[in-house]
């Protein structure tokens, strides 16, 4: 959770972004370092899908930053339990 989808991928060849720990151009899973913001959602980002504070914002932008934040990641049980088939599940 401290490295996943934080830096751009060094591999220029086509590959499955869901299996790659790096972020890719235009990918919605890109996130900022969790040390720079809380897991609480940014109201401005939630409303407009952008934030005027950008990288300096102290709140999470989108589900990836919230779900993979150390304050939340796998802190609640997955409602699907062992039947969960998500590629990446934020829940325990």
- Give the helix ranges, DSSP H, for the chain: 43-48, 62-67
State residue 27's pLDDT score.
84
Model confidence, pTM? 0.79
pLDDT digits (tens, 9 = 90+) for 66-79: 999 999 999 999 99
At residue 2 the predicted structure's pLDDT band, cuts being 50, 70 and 90, is: confident
Residues 18-37: tens digit of each pLDDT: 889 999 988 878 889 999 99
Which is nearest to 90 in space by CA: 50, 43, 31? 31
Q: 49: helix, coil or strand?
A: coil
Q: Mean pLDDT score of the chain, rounded to an integer?
A: 92
């Amino acid at each position: 959770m401290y490295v996943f989808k934080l830096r751009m991928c060094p591999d220029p060849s086509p590959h499955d972004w869901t299996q790659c720990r790096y972020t890719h151009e235009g990918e919605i899973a890109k996130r900022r370092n969790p040390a720079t913001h809380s897991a609480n959602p940014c109201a401005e980002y939630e409303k407009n899908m952008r934030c005027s504070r950008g990288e300096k914002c102290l709140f999470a932008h989108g589900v990836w930053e919230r779900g993979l934040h150390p304050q939340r990641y796998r802190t609640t049980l997955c409602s699907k339990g062992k039947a969960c088939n998500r590629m990446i599940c934020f829940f325990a």
